[in-house]
């Protein structure tokens, strides 16, 4: 229900399971996060679990578009 409310409030929801899968994928490759992700992408990932994109953007003083782009790049790198 929380995810629905977040999406309806013009945000995007990143589930805890997605964040965990991304983190597990990284550790399975035995690479340090900095080797696959930029510093900004890693910073966004650390804040992403269960938070709306608008919350992450506000916390980092970045635009929602920048956060969306970071999350897209993270998914591309870990696909």
Dist CA 4 CA 1 (whole Å) = 5
Q: CB neighbours (10 Å) of residue 10? A: 10
pLDDT tens for 11-54 read 677 778 777 776 777 666 566 655 778 889 989 988 988 889 99
- DSSP-assigned letter for residue 42: H
Three-state secondary-structure class, residue 55: helix
Assigned fold of 2-77: Arc Repressor Mutant, subunit A (1.10.10)
Residue 64: which pLDDT band, with cuts at 50, 70 and 90?
A: very high
Confirm whether pTM is higher than 0.75.
no
């Amino acid at each position: 229900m929380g995810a629905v409310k977040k999406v309806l409030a013009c945000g995007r929801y990143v589930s805890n399971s997605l964040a965990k899968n991304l983190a597990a994928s990284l550790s399975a490759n035995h690479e340090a996060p900095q080797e696959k992700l930029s510093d900004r992408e890693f910073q966004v990932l650390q804040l992403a679990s269960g938070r709306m994109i608008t919350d992450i953007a506000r916390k980092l003083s970045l635009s929602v578009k920048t956060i969306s782009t970071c999350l897209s790049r993270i998914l591309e790198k870990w696909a």
